[in-house]
Structure 1
Amino acid sequence: MWNDALCYQQYGAPETVLALYHLPLPPLAPGLVRVQMRYAPVNPSDLIPITGAYRHRTTLPSVAGYEGVGVVVEDSTNGRPLLGQRVLPLRGAGTWQRYLDIDPRWVVPVAEDIDDILAARGYINPLTAMLMLTRWPVAGKQVLLTAASSSCASLLGQWALAMGARSVSGIIRSPQHIARLQQYGVYPLLEGDSALIEQVSQYSDLVFDAVGGELANFLLAVLPQTSTLVSYGLLSGKPLTQTRGCAAVRKFHLREALPTLSVDAWQAAFAGIWRQLPTTAQPAAQVIKLCDWREAIVAAGQPGRGGKILLDFTAG
């Protein structure tokens, strides 16, 4: 058997350093399961390591991709029966390949009412949102989101309201996202309207910030000192600099949270996610064949893109 895998052997622009390799598939090692991938999303968190931003924790050569959905086609374990099940093969080798061998402890069975396209997006953003909302409860609070049109922020907004948040406001860069935020019940704020952002910020109890840089520093300057800003991303590429004499600043990184989860807690978290996702509005997905992976990378980086890009491993 042969495997097709999107690998990088050096750091740089993903569309330049990634290459599709056709490799022989070795026998499955004892204690692992083999998953045949169906779909995998193209997230910023997939692309950033390829540029070399996290080279201290990346080993070259490497297969790209952190999440996706597939089917267990081979099982060399004596544990829970997984053969034939749809699963998320997580916390192992890169998911941008047709076949993936993985430790079954971190394999997440997909609920029957979750389709492949939704399941493929069931890890990075949903788990990040779920863990943050658990760590920083929102019931009765006024919540503010930055990068509010992003996949993770849209989950945060909808789930915060479902968990009893008093209100949720979201900062966006483009007016094209206003209607979608309003559909979710989130009050939209254009990034250029600093006066309105300042007004809303003065009454905000909790901020989930994915941007950092100038926007986060501005918010810290106007937020009440009794509020909390949770920094979970730096889409601006710039860190926070104002951290004294202002609202409390807390940081959240999914990678750092994962080691604190036992196997049982890991599976329980996804049980909660499967309950939430079917009733959660999400942007439509654009599915692109693996052989057209460069098109997928370019599309994922387009400003104002409305839907999530998914690589399709089911096509030849």
Structure 2
Amino acid sequence: MSDIIPIAYWQALIAIVDHGGYAQAAEALGKSQSSVSYAIQRLEEHLALRVFRQEGRRAVPTAAGQILLQRARLLVEHAQGLESSARQLGQGREALLRVAVDVLFPDWLLLRALAIFSPDCAATRIEVLETVLSGTDDALLRREADLVITPRIPQGFSGEPLLQIRFVAVAAPAHPLHALGRPLAWADLRQHRQLVIRDSGSRRQSAGWLDAEQRWTFSHPSSSIQAACAGLGFAWYPELRIRDELADGRLLPLPLIEGRHRYAMLYRVFARPDFPGPACRELADVLARLMRESGLSVEPPPPA
């Protein structure tokens, strides 16, 4: 008997667990139930151990099956990545490139990067998913993106620093906080409405909430920034995102005693770090080059 176990056997193991049984696994895999049963039978024969036990009408992984399941997921993912890379190499570049970008990343920088990238990859369709907080994590974990720009690297992934973000506390010139005419304490802020951004992921958190007595929550920074310019509240925004509003005076920095600036690091993460496609790699290189040419530091701020 060959020492190499067919990948289809491992796929059957995963599908039975994920879909709740042999029949459901067969439907998900597009195979007959007998072929799924045969795959598990041959897998157990080859390994000389049981991977499932019956609990009523349910197939439940044994202790050994649970351990093998985790390794099987990695093996199947690796094999799928290898197949995908082989197809992409044969075709030249990916037909579709999915990019998840946390809204902290300035949209004008993203558009500049895409403009530089597009002439060389005219045949590649691009889907851009704008995310907030755990929404970016979800895009990675659900394999909904190939390239991700995120302030957090989920467990099991690695990333490279791309851009340091500095947040600045601001409000419109006519906002009552500016009318106080003195340095502001946290207690001053809590008496006024704070504008925050809602998490686009499954955790549904709000970014940067100060626990103010009043708050308005938006799903995208652009709406929140417009509200701030209209004098409807104060907020911390990425400085690069409100550079025009700061330059023309629609928003003014708040004179906080402390905390007027906050920092975050954005990272570039490949969903399949071992097998990024040619277009995926090229866009990542364009982003890194653009950051260098723009003089935007990726070094963390010095300790306070």
Common fold by TM > 0.5:
no
Q: TM-score range by the shorter chain?
A: under 0.3
| Bigger helix share | 2
Max Rg structure: 2
Bigger relative CO (Cα 8 Å, ≥ 6 apart): 2
TM-score under structure 1 normalisation? 0.24
